Amino acid sequence: MKPINSFFVAFLFILLSVCSVAQTKYEPSAENKKNREWFQDARFGLFIHWGVYSVLGDGEWVMNNQQIPIKVYEKIPAFFNPTAFDAKAWVQMAKAAGMKYITITSKHHDGFAMWDSKVSDYNIVKKTPYGQDVLKMLADECHKEGIKLFFYHSQLDWHHPDYFPRGNTGGSWTGRAESGDWYKYLDYMDAQLSELLTNYGEIAGIWFDGMWDKKDADWRLNKTYSLIHKLQPGALVGSNHHVAPYDGEDFQMFEKDLPGHNTTGFAPEQKIGDLPKETCETINYSWGFNLKDDGHKSRKELIQYLVKAAGYGANFLLNIGPMPNGKIQPEHIEKLKQMGEWLTANGETIYGTRGGPLTARDWGVTTQKGNKVYIHVLDWTDESLTLPSWGKKIKSAKLFSDKSTVKFIENEFGITLKIPKAKMDETDTIVELELK
């Protein structure tokens, strides 16, 4: 090769790599970084799956599971009339549960918009007798009450004709023509997201879901994520794609599992990144309202899930599926109340903490804030418990519940705590360690 040519090639190579880095590398705004800290401090949020599907009382996947064609499913909005919906009551319930934010479905896989969308008539204002924009009502109430609001938004769409080629779900039973313009669908999605990020005040973030339906498609994430960050630089973007975070995302989520676990089998390859984390879970087995599902988790299970999530340095997003009348199942109201009571007493060991110095153990987890480490003993019967040393000396140890002194020995085997049996709490016995 002549020298001029190799110089030219080298120059071209450098130019190309600079351009591609400049194009893809996302740098969060100062506001966004601040919100990531807020998000981690918050630790507990309310997930709401609510759509016209609630009318059928068979979960949010009912359209797919019962293979209801679009033409038939389109009859359902006429029955959706949640006259008992009370945004104030929902927000008060979340607050009393100790939750700091709400993530609600703006559009689920059925493609129905729960707000006053101008780019599609397939929405709550146009198609239901209720005729009101519930997202607006909820957003206003959240802003008034200092609760942050995220929108869950399904990228997968069983209704839109341009969601084509189809993915693994929403197949021929939907009755759509076997044609469509994929990029037109993505434009439509961006237009709907623009509405949500323009007309509803400050939005804490967008919780995407559905990419797994078409794993190999060009989802044009860069364009959509940039749009969101342009409209609201502070908004946090996350996606339930079950793999490591993509460029442009601000938090990482884990569905029905603690980070690094894969009991569901949804996420065999999910790597844990450095972004703030969140795990979501249902109270019974369903996300959307399910009339027959009474497999509600116990108070102890739910509190321990929250505590474990915090020990893993993750938020807990706990779901409810409101009923078609706008009310929340009494069993779920009761569970949230119990969580709130527990957090009123013990929130100091959860809010504003980060995952503690020890990773999760069979007996429980640790959380940390400043020079305080909280040992959450979730499953232990003996009076003495030895922790491996993490290289810090202990100044004092006390029971968080009644502030009574906890005896401890530090030696070459680690730190041994003595927790009197009578003081053990079957949900969570918390020992507060002050570090030197």
Is residue 60 within the footprint of ligand JFZ (CB under 6 A)? Answer: yes
Is residue 169 within the footprint of ligand JFZ (CB under 6 A)? Answer: no
Q: What x/- string results for residues 280 through 319 when contact with ligand JFZ is judged by CB under 6 A?
A: x------x--------------------------------
- Please, what is the minimum distance in Å from the beta carbon of residue 335 to ligand JFZ? 18
Is residue 61 within the footprint of ligand JFZ (CB under 6 A)? Answer: yes
Total residues interacting with ligand JFZ, rule: CB under 6 A = 10
Crossing angle between the packed helical segments 330-346 and 87-96, to the nearest 10 degrees? 40
Q: Which of 188, 200, 212, 342 binds ligand JFZ (CB under 6 A)?
A: 212
Tokens 């997202």 found at: 135
Q: Which residues pair with 318 in a beta bridge?
A: 46, 281
Q: Which of 149, 288, 168, 175 is nearest to 232 (CA)?
A: 149
- Please, what is the minimum distance in Å from the beta carbon of residue 91 to ligand JFZ? 21
Closer to ligand JFZ by CB, 52 or 280: give it.
Answer: 280
Backbone angles phi, psi at 183, to 5 degrees: -70, -25
State which amino acid sits at residue 97.
A
- Please, what is the minimum distance in Å from the beta carbon of residue 278 to ligand JFZ? 11
- Please, what is the minimum distance in Å from the beta carbon of residue 392 to ligand JFZ? 38
Buried b (16+ CB within 10 A) or exposed e, 336-371: bebbbebbeebebbbbebebbbbebbebbbbbbbee
Q: Which of 58, 133, 209, 432 binds ligand JFZ (CB under 6 A)?
A: 209
Position with the least CB separation from ligand JFZ: 212
Site for ligand JFZ in 365-384 (CB under 6 A): none
Cα 185 to Cα 163: distance, rounded to the nearest angstrom: 6
Q: In this structure, are residues 219 and 208 in contact, taking their beta carbons and an 8 Å threshold?
A: no
Closer to ligand JFZ by CB, 44 or 287: give it.
Answer: 287
Q: Which of 19, 48, 190, 46 is nearest to 108 (CA)?
A: 48
- Please, what is the minimum distance in Å from the beta carbon of residue 60 to ligand JFZ? 5
Cα 11 to Cα 227: distance, rounded to the nearest angstrom: 32
Positions that interact with ligand JFZ (CB under 6 A): 49, 60-61, 209, 212, 240, 255, 266, 280, 287
